[in-house]
Chains A and B, each alone.
Chain A
Amino acid sequence: MISSLITSFIVGGLFCVVGQILMDGLKLTPAHTLSTLVVVGSILDGIGLYEPLIDFAGAGATIPISSFGNSLTHGALIEAEKHGLIGVITGMFEVTSSGISAAIIFGVIGAFLFQNRNTTY
């Protein structure tokens, strides 16, 4: 248990280091950085590298935003395996539903509960 906490700390930290280098070194905005990482995650899943990384690092690989691209691609590929090309479109949100639905639900609840006092990122 302790060892998987350490691997998730290191792998998750390394993802953030990549993001920080993109932001500082290439002067990208946070939105550009996150979009780049999502695209990288989906390509890594396409060549079959992201699932082994999740097995190795657990939350260190599922919490960074690149896992969002991974799970979108993964859902599309699972459906494509069953139904062919049309599955690429229908399966897209199969795996990743919780991130988007939780963001919408808690976003609206947050708007009900809190007043605007300098919350912007």
Chain B
Amino acid sequence: MDQKQFDKIVERQTPKPVMFFSILKAFLIGGAICTIGQLITFFYIRFFPFTERTAANPTVATMIFIVMILTGTGLYKKISQVGGAGSAVPVTGFGNAVVSAAIEHKSEGYVLGVGGNIFKLAGSVIVFGVFSAFCVALIKTILVKMGVVSW
């Protein structure tokens, strides 16, 4: 049996996820998480001196605090089994990746385990976020200096 035949058999045996339902579930769970975020944003605008623009920062921090409790108690794993990308794409998925890596590697000690592995899953997001932001900002700055576009 060569590699191609093997790939065919693997493809036939893997269960095909029902794509429409997984997309619908991602939409509902992701939308619900963003609606909770909007409610927290309202809370910060109403009771603290934040504007609509600046309230995003404390909202993100609050969402990550909530997700720490949900991850530690194992509830977020259940949500992510239903929601798929709906629970991974919001910032709660980023928080879950950080907190679960920290808890999982605690047994290796706080410095080498928690400190060394805390960004094991979420590190790629930070690395490529920073690098793409650098490229985009560099290109835009050069274009503005050349007078092609304005700020």
Taking CB atoms, residues of chain B closer than 8 Å to A11 are 34
Could you tell me if A4 and B27 are in contact, using CB atoms closer than 8 angstroms? no
| Assembly CA distance A55 to B35 (angstroms) | 15
Interchain CB contact (< 8 A) of A38 among B40, B64, B129: B129
Could you tell me if B80 and A59 are in contact, using CB atoms closer than 8 angstroms? no
Could you tell me if A14 and B125 are in contact, using CB atoms closer than 8 angstroms? no
Taking CB atoms, residues of chain B closer than 8 Å to A85 are 138, 141
Could you tell me if B80 and A65 are in contact, using CB atoms closer than 8 angstroms? no
- Number of B residues, CB within 8 Å of A: 84
| Assembly CA distance A60 to B134 (angstroms) | 25
Interchain CB contact (< 8 A) of A34 among B94, B136, B140: B94
Taking CB atoms, residues of chain B closer than 8 Å to A31 are 121, 124-125
What is the distance, in angstroms, from B66's C-beta to the closest C-beta of chain A?
9
Taking CB atoms, residues of chain B closer than 8 Å to A38 are 125, 128-129, 132
Could you tell me if B61 and A102 are in contact, using CB atoms closer than 8 angstroms? yes
Most buried by B among A4, A10, A15, A110: A110
8 tightest Cβ-Cβ pairs between the two chains A and B: A12-B34, A16-B30, A13-B31, A114-B72, A19-B85, A59-B37, A72-B133, A76-B137
21 sampled A-B residue pairs with Cβ under 8 A: A12-B37, A17-B23, A20-B23, A39-B129, A42-B133, A54-B56, A58-B38, A59-B38, A63-B34, A63-B37, A63-B60, A64-B30, A64-B34, A65-B90, A67-B91, A69-B133, A88-B137, A98-B57, A100-B126, A107-B102, A119-B71
